[in-house]
Amino acid sequence: MLQPQHGAASPTPGRLIVINGTSSTGKSTLCTALQALLGEPYMVLGYDVMWMTMPARYFPFQPQEREGVWYELNPGDPTVATGIGFGVVGRQAMTGLHHAVAALLACGLNVIVDVLFFEAALYEEARRLWEPYRPLWVALKPPLAVSERWEANREATRAGRPTGLARLGREEIYAHSGFDLELDPSSGTPEDAARMVIAQLSTSRP
């Protein structure tokens, strides 16, 4: 049983690494490499993590998808997604992530967060909540052809998830200013990209 610590000092806030990029840019792979190479423990969170905690009925192709997350499909080829939509529950999950990350940082936990800032409002809210913790902002941006090749080889795609997600929102997701580092993960190994992030973190967020 946890015992109260009377008079304990407030914890030193945690560090935050923000990884923004479209689907199939290697964000999850980079997050795993960072966790392995960073000397301190870092939790990994993201929009996908939050969405996966929703009841399954709010998932794409399920009865209440329009309240959660859904895909707009090409009428001529329903295996290709041409858009993605977020209902009330899906949006609550995204803004909930923004607040949850800030709370974890305030408790002294380090966090890597995997996001796709589809809209300026999402980016602006996250920036407002996270900026007091001096995050490192990383844009992960391989060439589109590389992302589409990675998408085709993903287990989820082979299991029937629509293709076209690597292309969705590419202009909007990379339109935001204020990023510290832009990486093409196809130019080396995930560990190479992770070391670049760690080097930037060490010099700009000592």
* Predicted local confidence at residue 10, as pLDDT: 79
Q: Residue 1 pLDDT > 60, yes or no?
A: no
d(CA 69, CA 49): 13
User: For 133-144, b where at least 16 C-beta lie within 10 A, e where not — what string?
Assistant: bebbbbbbbbee
Q: Residue 2 pLDDT > 70, yes or no?
A: no
Does the residue 195 lie in any domain?
A: yes
Q: Residue 206 pLDDT > 90, yes or no?
A: no
* Predicted local confidence at residue 6, as pLDDT: 58
CATH code of the domain in which 150 resides: 3.40.50.300
* Assigned token pair, 29: 């792979």
Q: Apex CA 85: angle with CA 161 and CA 154, to 5°?
A: 20
Evaluate whether 47 touches 93 at the Cβ level (below 8 Å).
yes
Q: Residue 3 pLDDT > 80, yes or no?
A: no
Q: Give the residue-averaged pLDDT of 157-169.
A: 89
Dump pLDDT digits (tens) for 8-17: 567 899 999 9
Dump pLDDT digits (tens) for 50-73: 999 999 999 999 999 999 999 999
* Predicted local confidence at residue 136, as pLDDT: 97
d(CA 60, CA 108): 35
Task: List beta partners, residue 83.
Answer: 72
Q: What is the pTM of this model?
A: 0.92
d(CA 102, CA 45): 12
CA atoms within 13 A on the CB side of 97: 29
Does the residue 9 lie in any domain?
A: no
Compute CA distances 8 → 12, 20, 36, 193, whole Å: 12, 36, 31, 38
Range of the domain at 125: 16-52+97-204
* Assigned token pair, 161: 């998830």
The candidate with the shortest Cα–Cα distance to 94, out of 139, 54, 34, is 54
* Predicted local confidence at residue 160, as pLDDT: 83
Task: Specify the pairing of strand 42-46 against strand 110-115.
Answer: parallel
Number of structural domains the chain divides into: 1
Percent with pLDDT over 70 in the chain: 95
The candidate with the shortest Cα–Cα distance to 102, out of 77, 74, 71, 135, is 135
d(CA 80, CA 12): 46
Does the residue 37 lie in any domain?
A: yes
* Predicted local confidence at residue 203, as pLDDT: 87
Q: Give the residue-averaged pLDDT of 152-166.
A: 88
Does the residue 74 lie in any domain?
A: no
Does the residue 59 lie in any domain?
A: no
Report the Cα 60 to chain-centroid distance in Å. Answer: 19
* Predicted local confidence at residue 156, as pLDDT: 81
Q: Give the residue-averaged pLDDT of 114-133.
A: 97
Dump pLDDT digits (tens) for 25-35: 999 999 999 99
